[in-house]
A and B are shown apart, each in its own frame.
Chain A
Amino acid sequence: MSSESNTGARSLAVKLANVTKTFGRHTAVNDLSLAVPAGSVYGFIGPNGSGKTTTLRMILHIFHPDHGEIEVLGERSTRAANDRIGYLPEERGLYKKMTVRRVLAYYAALKGMNSRDAREAIGHWLAKLGLEQWANHKVEALSKGMAQKIQFISAVIANPQLLILDEPFTGLDPVNLEVLRSAILEQRRQGATVIFSTHDMTMAEQMCDFVFMIYKGRKVLDGTLAAIQSSYGADTVRLRVEGGAEALRGMEGVQIVRDLNQCQEVRCAGDPQDLLKTLAARTRVHLFEAARPSLHDIFIRIAAPAPGEASHA
């Protein structure tokens, strides 16, 4: 199921080999191996505190692993590749008292861009994201969505070969979300490798070539969405029946995974055709669709607390 088997001869943008990172007695990342193919969109998912951000920070060499090796853009265990990486942290970090243009010029210069190229790139990106009129305003004057777009520009301004985005869509309205999504995909089309962490499973399903899930510091999923879904079987049925979820309760071999009010997702132990016959005898069936388990479903199966165990979130 690992992405390594899917990458074949493709070069790797990031390779982690048996990486472990501890903080005091807490093991944040445990013996993690990962291969991110160049030019792919790689989704990091996992519950809060599972080790996603620590892994991203190790790829950036902000943290150093206690064990294992990390190779980024061909550079092994050094920060030499950092100027070719764009980073959008989980919480936004912009100087509030600086103007948008100055803060972007500063971040571009830190990534090794000369001032003329930076000036051009700033103009290009501000125009692209509809923020040109804000160029000379202080960051503190921007709305949350605008600040998030500026933070994104700071990550892509230097044309990175690897783009690491930690929760890039948090707090965005649908319009800004679409703007950012298309900008990310454009980066990928231009050859950049994109790693992004998210709690939005639908977004991960739509955007990612590969999905990696970390849970309690260990890798629990890694591969293409289709491969992951196949490995979790075809026992999921999406249906809409008269009487809703109540009509399904007590049916032998049927487990309601998600009650979405207008429809339900269930997992059936036997043949779905038998389930359809039983349901038709009980009530009116408006929708019956055999489906693969969604990423959300798989996530819940892995990370849902066992009865009596506290949630991570």
Chain B
Amino acid sequence: MTAELPEQSTPLLLEVEGLHVAYNRVVRVLHGVSLAIREGEFVGVLGANGAGKSTLLKSISGMLKSEGGAVTDGSVLLRGNDVTGAAARQMVREGVLQVMEGRYVFPDLTVEENLRMGAFSRSDTRTIRKDIERVLGYFPRLVERLKLKAGYLSGGEQQMLAIGRGLMARPKLLLLDEPSMGLSPLLVKEVFRIVREIRENEGLTILLVEQNAKQALAVADRALVMENGRVALEGAPADLEKSAELQELYLGGPRTG
């Protein structure tokens, strides 16, 4: 299915067309997903466990291959260039970075070293110090923990560090995978407040995958609902919120594996 785009003047940043993805050649997870994102947009992807949301992000960020997944059909275009199946390394250089689900920080490295690693793919290394300060501006909690090993941070702090580390790469398109996972409601609120702040200040394009529909709909310009590896619904957050279908998908819909 073709994604319906809102009337906007900014150019297209990302186009995903008819994407099919399978793991280990047999477990088929995506069955023809299409979406398009304009520069500066904030798009939310909702859906139950196993709907294929994370897989969608990984097939954009290049993190699919190391998990045994591969694009079997369809394409991913970045600014019109075909980047289907490109490695994470290339995508990070192109400005596409995924903040992985489950807070993948470097537990044995200090918070500061974690942030420095975020800038790994950048060639302009002189501004790294300054960027660390800029990133810490969003996460004041991390300032006093700079010399602490990231493994000793709380769950919320680790999530913040993971997002902050992603920002250190100065991405154009930030892919956020379930930032609310395992966090208390209060922390979820804080993380989403910060994400919105980042979006406003950095002029980033964000693709957010989230099970917490309420929070995602509150921050996104536009949202998709995925089910069984397909896009089931798409629209403005306000419309989706009222949609009976969304209610059904979330509350009564079949859980998929």
A binds B: no
Chain A residues proximal to chain B, CB less than 8 Å: none
Chain B residues proximal to chain A, CB less than 8 Å: none
